[in-house]
Amino acid sequence: MLEVIAETVGDAIAAEAGGADRIELVAALSEGGLTPSIGMAASVIEAVGIPVHVMIRPHSRSFHYGREDLAAMRGDIEALRRVGAHGLVLGALDGSKAIDKDAVQRLLEVSGGLPVTFHRAIDESPDLGASLAELAAFPSINRVLSSAGKADVRTALKEVKQLQAEAKRLGIVFMAGSGLTVESIIPFVQATGVAEIHMGTGVRGEDGQGRSAVSADKVAAAKASLNAVKSIGN
Cα separation, 95 vs 171, in Å, equals 28
Per-position pLDDT tens, the chain of length 234: 999 999 999 999 999 999 999 999 999 998 999 999 999 999 999 999 999 999 999 999 999 999 999 999 999 999 999 999 999 999 999 999 999 999 999 999 999 999 999 999 999 999 999 999 999 999 999 999 999 999 999 999 999 999 999 999 999 999 999 999 999 999 999 999 999 999 999 999 988 777 899 999 999 999 999 999 876 654
Residue 234 burial (10 A CB sphere; 0-12, 13-18, 19+): exposed
Cβ neighbors of 87 (< 8 A, separation 6 or more) are 22, 51, 52, 53, 54, 114, 115, 116, 117
pTM: 0.95
Domains of the chain, each with CATH number or no CATH: 2-233 (3.20.20.380)
Q: For 62-72, how does the pLDDT look when each residue is reduced to its tens digit (9 = 90+)?
A: 999 999 999 99
pLDDT tens-digit readout, 181-223: 999 999 999 999 999 999 999 999 988 777 899 999 999 999 9
